[in-house]
Structure formats: C-alpha cells, structure tokens
Structure 1
C-alpha cells in the first residue's frame, strides 16, 4: 500500500511555528475551518487543537509586541479616551 500524503491538520506539529502574525493567523484559521468541518478523526482533531493553541500564543505574542512598540512610539500621548472631548469636535 502506498503511503498517503497527509493534509495540514494531520501533521500540524511537524512544522515549525510561523514567526509572523499573518502567517500564524492564516494557519490558525485553516485549522479552525478543518475542525469545524467535522470530518477529521479524533487524533487529527487533537493534533490540530494543540497546533491551534501554539499558533494562538504566537499571535498573542506578536500583538503584545506591536502594542508595546506603539506605546513606545506614542510615549505619553496614550491616555484613556474622554467621551466629552469627542463631543467638542
């Protein structure tokens, strides 16, 4: 019997994690779609879930880094929104 090529959700943990937000998010969305389809066997669903957790962490780390960069760039300009200031404009 010839070996079958496995789809992404079947071997998600064999690949290194993407380091950029967009790639990680795209892969996460693909995994979610495959899991929502309901056709994955249990073991593949669990592997996809584990990979999804790892990808979520990558995305969260990148978002946190971006937020910190914005805070540094904006310095003291970041402050809570004053709804009254919006009415004056």
Structure 2
C-alpha cells in the first residue's frame, strides 16, 4: 500500500506520461479485478492526473493565445487550402 500513497504524491513527468498513466488506471479499474482499496487509490490518482492534464492544457492554451495575439480561430480545412494556394 505505501506504493499507492507515493504514486499519489508523485507528479507526472509530462502531459503524455500523465495520459498514459491515466489510460492504464482506467483499464485496470474497468477490468473489475482491483480490490476496493486499490480502486479507491486508483480513482484518487486518476483524479489528480485529470487535474494535472487540465492545468497543462490551460497553460498551453494561454501560450497559444499570446502567440496568436489572443485571436484564436477554429481550424478549418478550407482556411488551409486558401493559404496554401
């Protein structure tokens, strides 16, 4: 059980690492093979990972807004064709 406690305190190394760990936790939980305590620990860790990923996405969105002059536009395939031709 100490490993689960340490895992809950350990921050993810990256967004991609957090997503991979989250996918693994979801798979384990969906299998129904985890004991109750391990399921609760997995849920808590998953919740932390979701919060971490959301914060990372918000940070990147802010950076993109700065780079784009705070004028984000929805992506459209038509816009790409117009600019490329």
1:32 to 21, 26, 33: 26
Rg larger for? 1
Q: Which runs of at least 4 in structure 1 moved beyond 2 Å after TM superposition?
A: 10-13, 76-81
- Runs (5+) with no aligned partner, structure 2: none
SS of 2:68's partner is helix
Displacement of 1:77 in angstroms is 3.4
Structure 1 vs Structure 2 CA RMSD: 2.3
- Runs (5+) with no aligned partner, structure 1: 1-5
Considering Cα pairs closer than 8 Å and 6+ residues apart, tell me whether 1 or 2 has the greater RCO: 1
TM-score of the superposition, structure 2-length normalised? Answer: 0.76
